[in-house]
Each structure stands twice: as C-alpha cells, then as structure tokens.
C-alpha cells in the first residue's frame, strides 16, 4: 500500500493531508529512510513517524475579525469569511484563520502540528462558510475519523453560470492534478481519484442557476472542477470558469456575473457527531452579503424559476 494511504489510519495523524505534510517534512521513515508519498510499503517494513510538538510554534496570534457560530471545550465552529486563508504556509505566516483562532481562543488551543493546529478540513481562500476546528486531541481524532468515514454532511450553496436543465443529479468524474498545469485540478487527470457531488437546482435566474451542492467526497477543488466539467462553472471562478468566447460582456446579465468579486461558493451547513457525547449537531451560516447582492441583481433583471422541492 502507498505510504500516504497508511498514515491516516494512525490515530495521531488522522488525515491524509496531515500525513502528506509529515512526509514532505521528512518526518516519516521506512526502514530508517525518508520516503515519498507513493512509496509502496510491504509487510515486514518498519515505519516510524516523528510527530511535531503540539501547539502553534512560530505562528503568532492576530486580532483578525472572526464570526464564531459555536464554541465549547472540544470544538470551535466558525463562519469563515471569503479572502481568509485557513492556515499558514512557508510563504504566508500570518493573516490566516489559525492566527485568528489563537487570538480569540488562546495559544494552547487548538492542538496539532505547528502550522495547522486543530485543522481537520479546509475551505478555499475565496470560499466562505462553516468550518469546524478541534480544541483537544480527542476531538481532533474524532473529527478526522468522521471525515475519513464520510459521515460528516456538507451542504454548499453555489451560483453556476447558465440554466441547468436537470433539477438534480450526480457528478462522478474522478478528480486529480491537471496533467499540465500543476496548480489546477482536473477531471482529465492521469491519476484522478473517485469523486462524487450531488447537485440540486434551487432557483433558475437570468444567466445562472443557484444550486445546493452536497460533496460525498472531499477532493481538492472538487465542486469547482465538477461544475466546470459539466459546462456550468461557478460564477466568479477565475481559475475554472473563464468567460467563454461569444459571450457579450456588454449585456446586463454578463456585467452582473463578471462583477462577482470571487467564486460564488458558500459552505452553508455542516453536520457531524459531537466528539464528546456523539450527539448529531448541525451548524449553518447565512449566505454572505457579496453573494446575496449578485443574486438580487440577477433577480431584478428578469423572471426567476424556483425548482421543485426535493
């Protein structure tokens, strides 16, 4: 089995992303040698992992505004604003959600490796909405296990270009790294991983459709890539939704769509089992003002059509 697929089964690691990060740092050894993520581990080999000291070493608290939906001794649930990066990276030490959490909740929480304390999932920088962060090691392990088991329910709202004909459907193209552009993902990847997205049309508007999106898997940029492959990229998505030739930028509808300040994607709701007692909890974040303004402008331009409930 690949090395990066073994590591998530270890409770102190929990997620494939964290395992890959440890591999990149050279902290994962097989028979005493640092190996790459794709290294094939066989029976009888000795695997050793060095876990960085817990706590946000080298990451400073910053007084960044934060909308907290819920907090207790185990978890923090926030409504992440668009434009906020989730965690620091070598080229970005500040201005992230982690820096904000350290300011609002103290340096001892949440737990984890130095640059991603408590982070078990992410939203793209320009995607807004609900995120849960662990505050204890046991909560971190519980949430990571739920994400691996795909028992956590995620509901997004997205505004896609064009009027989808189907009221609902499933998108199942595998998603992986783009074969030529390494900063993008693609359904044409040579090593795509299984991905599944359910969509339902909530409202058809001039030039666009408001969708409820439920990702069954959690691939990088999955919703953005799947909708682009469907021919209905997210409004405002500069990476996967470039305006196609033939569209008139002078039309009122196109002016509204082109003026969207970022990709029109919002994590509306997150449902999971609370790490302490297992009760099922759900948290919601209302559609933010920037995307609400785009919807209102489109509604003012012409007739709308509400899709059947279901």
Antiparallel, parallel or unpaired: β 28-30 and 47-49: antiparallel
* CB atoms inside a 10 Å sphere around CB 206: 18
Q: Sign of dihedral through CA atoms 218, 219, 221, 223? A: negative
CB 131 within 8 A of CB 249: no
- For residue 2, is the peptide bond before it cis, meaning its omega torsion is within 30 degrees of 0? no
45 Cβ contact list (under 8 Å, min separation 6):
30, 31
Q: Which of 236, 216, 271 is nearest to 124 (CA)?
A: 236
The catalytic position among 74, 124, 126, 237 is 124
* CB atoms inside a 10 Å sphere around CB 277: 8
Is residue 124 part of the annotated active site? The answer reads yes
* CB atoms inside a 10 Å sphere around CB 36: 12
- Using alpha carbons only, give the angle 177, 178, 182 rounded to the nearest 5 degrees: 80
Q: Which of 296, 288, 298, 297 is nearest to 265 (CA)?
A: 288
Known catalytic residues are: 124
């Amino acid at each position: 089995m690949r090395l990066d697929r073994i590591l998530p089964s270890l409770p102190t690691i929990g997620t494939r992303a964290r395992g890959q990060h440890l591999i990149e740092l050279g902290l994962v050894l097989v028979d005493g040698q640092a190996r790459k993520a794709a290294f094939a581990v066989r029976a009888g080999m000795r695997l050793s992992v060095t876990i960085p000291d817990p706590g946000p070493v080298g990451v400073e608290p910053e007084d960044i505004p934060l909308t907290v939906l819920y907090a207790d001794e185990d978890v923090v649930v926030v409504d992440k604003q668009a434009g906020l990066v989730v965690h620091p990276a070598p080229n970005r030490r500040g201005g992230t959600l982690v820096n904000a959490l350290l300011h609002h909740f103290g340096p001892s929480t949440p737990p984890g490796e130095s640059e991603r304390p408590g982070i078990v999932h992410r939203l793209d920088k320009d995607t807004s909405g609900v995120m849960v962060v662990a505050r204890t090691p046991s909560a971190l392990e519980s949430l990571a296990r739920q994400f691996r088991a795909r028992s956590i329910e995620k509901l997004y709202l997205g505004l896609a270009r064009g009027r989808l004909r189907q009221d609902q459907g499933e998108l199942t193209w595998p998603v992986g790294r783009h074969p030529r552009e390494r900063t993008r993902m693609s359904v044409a990847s040579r090593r795509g991983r299984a991905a599944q997205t359910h969509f339902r049309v909530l409202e058809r508007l001039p030039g666009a459709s408001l969708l409820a999106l439920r990702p069954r898997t959690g691939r990088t940029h999955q919703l953005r890539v799947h909708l682009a492959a469907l021919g209905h990229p997210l409004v405002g998505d500069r990476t996967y939704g470039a305006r196609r030739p033939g569209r008139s930028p002078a039309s009122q509808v196109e002016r509204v769509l082109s003026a969207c300040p970022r990709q029109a994607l919002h994590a509306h709701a997150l449902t999971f089992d609370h790490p302490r007692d297992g009760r099922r909890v759900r948290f919601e974040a209302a559609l933010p003002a920037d995307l609400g303004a785009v919807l209102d402008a489109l509604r003012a331009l012409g007739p709308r059509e509400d899709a059947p409930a279901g």
